Structure 1
Amino acid sequence: MSTGLRVVAIADADSFVKWSASLLGSVPGIRPHLLLVKTPLTASAAQERTALAGAGLDPAAVSRIMFGETGPWLEAQRPDVVLLAGRGPFVRLMGRVIDALTHRPVTVAGLPGMAIPAQRGALDYRRHVDLLVVHSHREERAFADLGRRIGAQVPTALATLPFARTKARMLSPELVRAGTASSATRRGGAAETEQNPGPDGIRSSMSKAPATDIVFAAQALVPMDREDRAEIAATLVRAAEADPRRRIVVKLRSRPGEAETHLERDAYTELLGRRVRVPENLVFSYESMSQALSTAAGLVTVSSTAAIEALAQGIPVIALDSFGVSKSLLNTVFVGSGLLGGRSEVIAGRFRHPHPDWLRDNYFHPESESTWWDRVEALVALRRSGSLPARRVSAPRGGALHEAWHRASVLGRDDRTLSGRIALVAGEPAVGMLSALKRRRSPDLGTWVDASTDITLEPNPFHDSIRR
């Protein structure tokens, strides 16, 4: 049935652009299109190019539109399937647009990377979709458990992470010790780079080197504490000093002035820019992760999905456990993987390949088990026959004022409605009080510290509002 199906992804933030474009690019025979809706999180033109690199989606099949144009565009195009790709409030807002269409498409949603622990808000905001895409058997179980706990029974289907498909280097039996003299010799010596000044005088780079780099996948949310982030910056400096023949590449998601999916505090550009001296071989990169990994001998992260992307290419990984292993660090997924390691191992270049027993349950299941598109086609057939009831967004508890506040919170300055302005003015004090109450509650309570499950029921501890 794939041939001729019109499938439209609606996205804004950079990580969701990459995920949705790659997911659509993996399905043969469809007519895909990507709508980038203007919000404060919408990917810049440069971020769009990076996200689309290698995704398999024609850049000509991308349109940028305002929120108010989304409904008329969908009404005119009448897609068979809409993939809602954004943070939870964005997905719910777009769900209301879908509810107003005369020709209702099948609606699909998902998260752009590893989703362990499965968080209450992630499912609650998407409870109205026809299908939730997950990327591992472990996630299937976690979201089923979460749905039972909160009364949100959303059908799920398994997909392979589209930008982490297995490459030839996957599961190489050789344990690479990145950056050693022997590995530099095997790969042709120290990296040769073309360097340009970057933020705060630290170099950005485009690499033309063999695979000797150590890539650090920076994250906005974890670790949260400035002291911990400063310690990571110091570790990267020490790793660069330990072997000047290898590059330490700090892979960033956004350039100064750009937004990204999550709000970053204490950016590594700032933390490293404050240092008196930064080694010449410590550089920033804004290229795609696939490009950064093309010259990588090892990858370091706390809990980025880039670890899966690296493993798919046979690149060894260290998942930092120097600050602990907990749901609030989003790194419990690596328990049992053999990838957890500390700062000293990063400096020494002792990177690891995963334990085979961990792989099948965690993102490296056989391709034949990824049946999400079969499920979508079945749902399209049901919708066409009139046998698939609409899963509509529930009416907001606070009525029209609450709905206006929600819309204005997602769209920011691009919501030019009077109701939105009134709702923000009226709702800001109440939201402020609720946020303060949540902050007073310790994040170390309840399911966020319950190691026996892969779910959380309380609000997340990151204070990562969609408003900027």
Structure 2
Amino acid sequence: MSDSLRVVAIADADSFVKWSASLLGSVAGIRRHLLLVKTPLSASAAQERAALSDTGVEPHDVTRLAFADTRAWLEAQRPDVVLLAGRGPFVRLLGRVIDALDQRPVTVAGLPGMAIPAQRGALDYRRHVDLLVVHSHREVRAFDELGRRIGVHVPTALATLPFARPRERMLSPQRAGTHAVGGLLVDERPAPIDSPVSPGGHVRRTPATDIVFAAQALVPAVRSQRAEIATLLLRTAYADPDRRVVVKLRSRPGETETHLERDSYAELLDGRRPENLVFSYEPMSRALQTAAGLVTVSSTAAIEAVAQGVPVIALDTFGVSKSLLNTVFVGSGLLGGRNEVVGGRFRHPHPGWLRDNYFHPEAESTWWERVEALVAMRRAGALPARRVPAARGGALHEAWHRASVLGREDRSAAGRTALLAGVPAARALAAVKRRRTAAGGGTWADATTDFTLEPNPFHDSIRR
């Protein structure tokens, strides 16, 4: 069926552009297109180029549109499948556009990286889609359990995280001491940071000496902790002046990204960098080509590095908790502290962790088969539409939703009115909810589960 299917991904922010393009690029034979809708989070031209690198989606497969033109464009294109790729409110807003189409496509949504813990808002905003794509067996269980807890029933399907596929730059000769786990060749023996051979016997084609730090906007959230990481990067650079420390950033000055960053590393390191501590805006896949090790708190870049045979340290300097988004690494063998980074003691994951966490066999990724089945059902009239319910506050509430996502791109009087009334109310309500959660921490403080029921602790408005 794939040869006849027209599939459109609708995205705005850079991480969702990268994920959706990579996901569609992994499906052979479809007619794919990427629609970028203008919002305050929209990827710049440079971010778009970086996001599309190695995805199989070409620049001529991309259209940029104002939200107001989206419905007419979709009516003209008549896609069989729409992949809604954006933050929750964006997905809900575009879901209303889908509801208004004369010919309804199958709707799919997902998250652009690791999604442990499974968050209530992530599922609730996507409750109207036909299929939710997740990327590990652990995520399947987490979202299924979360759905049972909150009464939201969205079918889930397993995909291979696009960034978890080994790259062509690595050779894969089997050698003594290795065995296959989830499609990777794994060796439990430690690999020195300057070793040209990865634990799976993958021989690097280019010298790999850089230490790459994958910066994140959300974690850690405290300025003093981000300053500690900046100091750690400086220590690492001074420890070996012949080795580059590469701070991999997602946005240049003036650009936006999926999440709101406060206390950027560019600011924290301004004016005190040695020559071998550099900033990079290139695609992560390219940065990893010369990486001897990757450092992060909880970025999906860790999974991308593992797929390339690059050893990792997931920083546990500030603890391991859901609020740091790093509980996914418990049992991986990747957690480590400052001294390990400075000393270059990077590590590869324990084989037992891989299959449940993003490195399952490709044959277990059945999301596209599920999509094809849903398309067949819809064509046969056997798939009921999962419509976005009307906002409980009526037209003003609808205007608030739209203006919250579109920001300055929404020039309607109703949107301006809704924001004037809604912003203070929304802030007050969020503060009340956070105070209720703060006393005991709720499920965010429960390390025994992989889901959360309360609002997330990040102050991360879409409006910039």
The TM tier, using the shorter chain, reads: over 0.9
Number of the residue aligned with 2:178: none
Number of the residue aligned with 2:113: 113
1:262, 1:228 → 2: CA distance? 18
* Structure 2 letter corresponding to 1:308: I
1:162 CA displacement? 1.0
1:209 CA displacement? 6.8
Q: Report if the CA contact (8 A) 2:434-2:455 is conserved.
A: no
Give me the TM-score of the superposition, normalised by structure 2.
0.93
* Structure 1 letter corresponding to 2:312: V
Unaligned runs of 5+ residues in structure 1 are: 188-207
* Structure 2 letter corresponding to 1:395: A
What do the CA deviations read for 1:334-353 (whole angstroms, capped 9, x no partner)?
A: 00000000011000000010
2:398, 2:319 → 1: CA distance? 40
What do the CA deviations read for 1:166-215 (whole angstroms, capped 9, x no partner)?
A: 34465553533325xxx49x99xxxxxxxxxxxxxxxxxxxx97210000
2:329, 2:232 → 1: CA distance? 21
* Structure 1 letter corresponding to 2:279: F
Identical aligned residues as a percent? 78
Number of the residue aligned with 1:359: 354
1:422 CA displacement? 1.1
1:245 CA displacement? 1.3
2:32, 2:216 → 1: CA distance? 30
Q: Alignment partner of 2:4: what SS? A: coil
Q: 1:417 aligns with which of 409, 412, 421?
A: 412
| Structure 2 residue 334 is the aligned partner of structure 1 residue 319 | no
2:406, 2:54 → 1: CA distance? 29
Q: Report if the CA contact (8 A) 2:246-2:277 is conserved.
A: yes
Instruction: Within 5 Å, give how 1:152-163 maps onto structure 2.
Output: 152-163=152-163
Number of the residue aligned with 2:399: 404
Q: Alignment partner of 2:29: what SS? A: coil
Number of the residue aligned with 2:191: 176
* Structure 2 letter corresponding to 1:319: A
| Structure 2 residue 60 is the aligned partner of structure 1 residue 64 | no
* Structure 1 letter corresponding to 2:229: I
1:306, 1:408 → 2: CA distance? 32
Q: 1:461 aligns with which of 446, 453, 457?
A: 457
What do the CA deviations read for 1:6-54 (whole angstroms, capped 9, x no partner)?
A: 0000000000000000000000010000000000000000000000000
2:425, 2:146 → 1: CA distance? 28
Q: CA, structure 1 residues 441+282, in 2 after alignment: closer, same or farther (shift >3 Å)?
A: farther
What do the CA deviations read for 1:327-378 (whole angstroms, capped 9, x no partner)?
A: 0000000000000000110000000100000000000000000000000000
1:437 CA displacement? 2.3
1:178, 1:213 → 2: CA distance? 10
Q: Report if the CA contact (8 A) 1:178-1:214 is conserved.
A: no
1:420, 1:53 → 2: CA distance? 36
1:442 CA displacement? 5.2
1:240, 1:428 → 2: CA distance? 44
1:235, 1:177 → 2: CA distance? 20
Number of the residue aligned with 1:132: 132
| Structure 2 residue 279 is the aligned partner of structure 1 residue 279 | no
* Structure 2 letter corresponding to 1:125: Y
Q: Alignment partner of 2:395: what SS? A: helix
1:421 CA displacement? 1.0
Q: Report if the CA contact (8 A) 2:186-2:351 is conserved.
A: no
Q: Alignment partner of 1:365: what SS? A: coil
2:260, 2:383 → 1: CA distance? 38
Q: 2:248 aligns with which of 235, 246, 251?
A: 251
1:435 CA displacement? 2.9
Q: Report if the CA contact (8 A) 1:37-1:66 is conserved.
A: yes
Unaligned runs of 5+ residues in structure 2 are: 173-183, 199-204
1:439 CA displacement? 4.5
1:434 CA displacement? 1.4
* Structure 2 letter corresponding to 1:222: V
| Structure 2 residue 245 is the aligned partner of structure 1 residue 230 | no
1:250, 1:328 → 2: CA distance? 23
1:425 CA displacement? 1.3
1:391, 1:442 → 2: CA distance? 31
Q: 2:378 aligns with which of 372, 375, 383?
A: 383
What do the CA deviations read for 1:92-144 (whole angstroms, capped 9, x no partner)?
A: 00000000001000000000000000000000000000000000000000000
Instruction: Within 5 Å, give how 1:200-349 maps onto structure 2.
Output: 210-273=207-270, 277-349=272-344
2:52, 2:4 → 1: CA distance? 22
Q: Alignment partner of 1:249: what SS? A: strand
1:449, 1:177 → 2: CA distance? 36
What do the CA deviations read for 1:414-451 (whole angstroms, capped 9, x no partner)?
A: 00111111111121221232133244445461100111
Q: Report if the CA contact (8 A) 1:176-1:297 is conserved.
A: no
Number of the residue aligned with 1:199: none
Q: Report if the CA contact (8 A) 2:191-2:347 is conserved.
A: yes
Q: Alignment partner of 1:250: what SS? A: strand
* Structure 2 letter corresponding to 1:330: L
1:425, 1:460 → 2: CA distance? 24
Q: Alignment partner of 2:102: what SS? A: coil
* Structure 2 letter corresponding to 1:53: S
What do the CA deviations read for 1:385-428 (whole angstroms, capped 9, x no partner)?
A: 00000000011111110010010010000001111111111212
Q: Report if the CA contact (8 A) 2:15-2:51 is conserved.
A: yes
